[in-house]
Amino acid sequence: MTRKVTKAIFPVAGLGTRFLPATKSIPKEIMTLVDRPLIQYAIDEARAAGIKEFIFVTSRGKGALEDYFDHSPVLEQELRKKGKDKLLEVLKGTNMDSGAIAYIRQHKALGLGHAVWCARRLLDPKEPFAVILPDDVIAADKPCLQQMVEAYEETGGSMVAAMEVPADKVSAYGVLDVKEDMGSSVSVKGMVEKPAPGTEPSNLAVIGRYILDPNVMKNLNKMKSGAGGEIQLTDAIADEIETDRGVYGFRFAGQRFDCGSKAGFLQATISFGLSRDDLRDELQEYLDELSAMRAAAQ
């Protein structure tokens, strides 16, 4: 019987240089996708999957991220006074209970594996844990991590979210070498981080959702340098492949947006905007007008 996944690590120590100058004064994770910060999408997904404890691996300059999850008595009082009950409910979703959230500093940018390793003392050495990368925003009827938790109950071991990517994009990802394809889940016989073009074992790429066996943290303790001279989480997971616990890839149902890039962020903004009843018509009308103007100019 697999243990429940109740803790999640959110690596948010990056400087967000691709979004300068905006990220000069605010953490990238606070940037809004329509009207919610990126980090809120990640938190909501974790909650839906049964996560109870949230661990943020941060760095200097992330104070606004911590403040975001704190209560705001003055704002709440003002909304209550004005009878804005709907906004009060929205605000409640941003509050975290005392003790439910913890912040750990990553003092040196040594890779994703190192960021996860920084949270080691806040984990139970016998329990699995999740890792969520807020840059990867996934639109899905059933939240991605919830899908994975349900699949994990059948497989155990370690599980990574995976999706098929075009051949010319594969070298930007960690890629799975598939042992057995079971439909939504695959068993893994190898993992390669950012393979050179033409050497990739498949086009099934790992994206930012993980459910990891506690032994992965022991593997990270070895502090092995991988691709780019960084400590790669992919390498620590790959060490689990030959064990009886195993590693699995999970093809999630949903659309993933890379909000770590400007183009991906804009694509997500349009997609999420069109999914909103209060924004769809006006936004679609604008997009239609824009398309007509471009066609007329050609």
pLDDT in tens, 49-86: 999 999 999 888 778 878 888 778 888 888 888 888 88
pLDDT of residue 231: 77
- Is the pLDDT assigned to residue 229 strictly greater than 70? no
pLDDT exceeds 60 at position 227: no
Yes or no: say if 206 and 175 are a contact pair by the CB < 8 Å rule. yes
The superfamily (CATH) of domain 7-260 is: Spore Coat Polysaccharide Biosynthesis Protein SpsA; Chain A (3.90.550.10)
**pLDDT tens digits, 154-195:** 898 999 999 998 888 888 888 898 898 888 898 999 888 788
Averaged pLDDT for residues 264-269? 95
Answer whether 0.85 is exceeded by the pTM.
yes
pLDDT band at 257 (very low <50, low <70, confident <90, very high): very high
Taking the domains of the chain in order of start, what are their residue ranges?
7-260, 262-298
Distance CA(111)–CA(104), nearest Å, equals 15
pLDDT at 85: 84
Q: Name beta bridge partners: 195.
A: none
- pLDDT at 249 (0 to 100): 95
Decide if pLDDT at 228 tops 70: no
Q: Residue 246: count other Cβ atoms within 10 Å of its Cβ.
A: 18
Prior bond of 166 cis (ω within 30°): no
Mean pLDDT of the 108-115 span: 86
Query: Would you say the C-alpha torsion 276, 263, 136, 141 has a positive or negative sign?
Result: positive
Say yes or no to pLDDT of 196 above 90.
no
Residue 8, amino acid: A
| Contact in structure between 5 and 149 (CB atoms under 8 Å) | yes
Contact 246, 10 (CB under 8 A): no
d(CA 53, CA 145): 15
How many whole angstroms separate alpha carbon 266 and alpha carbon 263?
Answer: 5
Is the predicted pLDDT of residue 145 greater than 70, yes or no?
yes
Share of the chain above pLDDT 90, in %: 45
